[in-house]
Amino acid sequence: MIVVAADFNMGAMENKGLNIFNTSCVLANPATTTDQAFQRVEAVVAHEYFHNWSGNRVTCRDWFQLSLKEGFTVYRDAEFSADMGSRTVKRVEDVSFLRTQQFAEDAGPMAHPVRPDSFMEISNFYTLTIYEKGAEVVRMIRELIGQDNFRKGSDLYFARHDGQAVTTEDFVLAMEEVSGVDLTQFRRWYTQAGTPQLQVTGHYDAVAQTYELLVRQSCPPTPDQAYKDPFHIPLRMGLLDAAGKDIALVLQGESAGSSVLTERVLDVTKPIQSFVFTGINSKPVPSLLRGFSAPVKLQFNYTREELLFLMTRDTDGFNRWNAAQELSVGVIQELLANHQQGIALTVNDGLVNAFGEVLQSAISDARSNNQLDQAMLAQLLVLPSEAYLSELSAEIDVDGIHQVREFVANTMAAAHAAAFAELYTLCQSHGPYAADAGSIAKRALKNLCLSYLMRQADATWLDACYQQYLTAENMTDVDAALRQLVNSRYPEAESLRDQALADFYNRWKHESLVVNQWFTVQAIASRPGTLEQVKALMHHEAFDMRNPNKVRSLISAFCNSNPVNFHHISGGAYAFLADQVIALNMSNPQIASRLLTPLTRWKKYNPTRQRLMKAQLERVAAQPELSKDVFEVVSKSLK
């Protein structure tokens, strides 16, 4: 009941009689498939399987209800993947993607509600808002009514509507009926676009032994929605004492019950709202938005000492990672301001020391073979991405963000060279390949160490990287080593890079999915001259403009995942992207419209880049016989 297609715009499709899968979402073996790709296959197969109920047996009344099946099913496959691996790491990965990609969509010209009011071309609404934000809306319902009630509500929804075509309202009504929770205000998540913002301040009263959280919510205007009513936002939180232990949470006006809660979900429903906790005998550190309980931007004026505390002591794994990210963001943003003013850069000692503590924990875990913790520690050692740093910027300084982030990464590599080397050695594995969570975590930590070690001007590690490429018995390690060779600025790496790229292609030229990896590795290289390399690869014997996977692996990878080269001040890459959109407009309008995404965000850049990007959007708009897919995106972008 399955067909696998090499030429397919989607990842997979859950048709009741015959599932259709893109080759990249179902074909996998250790020799040709990375750990990340294995996990994607597992998730996509789960997603289409779960669609049997959430999408097929209970389906959508109309296209406006698309998130009813897609958002719910993304939530279900994410829960499955979390159970198969590390729940915390899965949440980190999902939130990282949401905050860089979906938040950008919410802030751009294509912003729309989870349940849109209108559309010009329905294929343009298979978006991150429908899928990822739709899943977050489902997750918030679980936060508000509790896990047990959520399961009962799901069972009622399926039993009541089996064989029917229904709406998001039917789903929410089932959840209200089993829980008794009024979700009237919550329904605004379906009708209002944009990413809400929470500004939170804390005040400790030592005399009264109370701690107040004052929460202000707002949401910026989006196309066709200048004003937003307050959302119903579940804010999961805890308070930590000086030892890092969770404090009992009793709100003012409540009586302390027999069961003491040390974690609560606060119902944020008003523009300004106060929550006062009693019986707090010392100033706490708040742990806010645990598990990323709502898709919002949260601001709290943490000190660096408090972020270091949360990074090492918080009992919530997601918030440990988030504190590490916020600590790094603060340091990088400060350095970026210095860089823009021509001030010499120096990385804060606190961040350097925090990395050292995490590395020592990772070394200890590697010695005891505590592999699942290694997955979380690997996440703590990853600096915020350039995409996330850009999303946080009012005006994106592409070159500055890249240079400062590279400076911080190089500083960490130099400061902790010995620890990275020791950990790299400890994470070596000589047994047969396994795609289980522990083995994946160990490889992730090992290859993260290699990425830092390759930042040193040390021929020893260049040779070690090349040897890993030559001798690795799985594609994860081969791909990781190849990426480091391709991105290395070390002069001696050039010949090894060329040898490895030639060898990789000759070895795998008969495996189309592996060749796609080869295209992507070169497309996302941050070295100068990558645009010219991408143009040359478009004439390679293995490239086919008619194949969506090839287009995504080369053109889309370059334009979406290589900011420093795509946004080169010459504007050459903008013209290149417009050329490809025009070429694909009639033959594959779905892919053409999706390729446009990087240009749609032109208003976030400096005036020079704005002018260059807008000119290419206008060139696309001026083409005769534009498809509805492309016309809708380009016309909304130019408003």
Q: What is the pLDDT of residues 193-233, one digit of tens each?
A: 999 999 999 999 999 999 999 999 999 999 989 999 999 99
Residues 6+ apart with CB under 8 A from 472: 478, 481
pLDDT over 90 for what percent of the chain? 89
Residues 523-551 have a mean pLDDT of 97
pLDDT of the residue at 370: 66
3-state secondary structure of 2: strand
Going by C-alpha positions, the residue among 528, 524, 523 that lies closest to residue 543 is: 523
pLDDT of the residue at 430: 81
Catalytic-residue membership of 326: no
**pLDDT tens by residue, 43-71:** 999 999 999 999 999 999 999 999 999 99
Going by C-alpha positions, the residue among 11, 20, 15, 14 that lies closest to residue 40 is: 11
pLDDT of the residue at 187: 98
Residues 509-520 have a mean pLDDT of 98
| CA distance linking residue 197 with residue 106, whole number of Å | 12
Beta bridge partners of 297: 197
Residues 389-398 have a mean pLDDT of 96
Angle in degrees, 0-180, between the axes of helices 66-84 and 134-145, rounded to the nearest 10: 70
**pLDDT tens by residue, 131-155:** 999 999 999 999 999 999 999 999 9
Residues 317-327 have a mean pLDDT of 96
pLDDT of the residue at 163: 96
pLDDT of the residue at 122: 80
pLDDT of the residue at 522: 98
Catalytic pick from 48, 79, 93, 105?
Answer: 48
Q: Which domains, from first to last, does the chain contain?
A: 2-191 (1.10.390.10), 197-301 (2.60.40.1840), 316-453 (1.25.50.10)
**Continuous H helices in 314-458:** 317-340, 349-368, 371-380, 386-391, 398-415, 417-426, 437-453
3-state secondary structure of 247: coil
Residues 6+ apart with CB under 8 A from 315: 238, 240, 244, 245, 246, 287
Asked if residues 496 and 485 have their Cβ atoms less than 8 Å apart, the reply is: yes
Q: How far is CA 537 from the centre of its chain?
A: 28
| CA distance linking residue 263 with residue 319, whole number of Å | 13
pLDDT of the residue at 371: 62
pLDDT of the residue at 127: 94
Query: pLDDT band at 576, cuts 50/70/90?
Result: very high
DSSP 225: B
| CA distance linking residue 351 with residue 330, whole number of Å | 10
β-pairing, 250-251 vs 272-278, is antiparallel
pLDDT of the residue at 551: 98
Cα end-to-end span (Å), the chain: 45
Asked if residues 248 and 264 have their Cβ atoms less than 8 Å apart, the reply is: no
Quickly tell me which residue has 């993304």 as its tokens: 74
pLDDT tops 60 at residue 367 = yes
pLDDT of the residue at 124: 83
Asked if residues 18 and 53 have their Cβ atoms less than 8 Å apart, the reply is: no
Q: Which of 84-98, 150-164, 486-500 has the lowest mean pLDDT?
A: 486-500
pLDDT of the residue at 256: 67
pLDDT tops 90 at residue 490 = no
pLDDT of the residue at 117: 87
Count of CB atoms situated within 10 Å of the CB of 337 = 13
Averaged confidence pLDDT in the chain = 95
Query: pLDDT band at 615, cuts 50/70/90?
Result: very high
Query: pLDDT band at 562, cuts 50/70/90?
Result: very high
pLDDT over 70 for what percent of the chain? 99
**pLDDT tens by residue, 248-306:** 999 998 876 656 899 999 999 999 999 999 999 999 999 999 999 999 999 999 999 99
Backbone angles phi, psi at 235, to 5 degrees: -110, 95
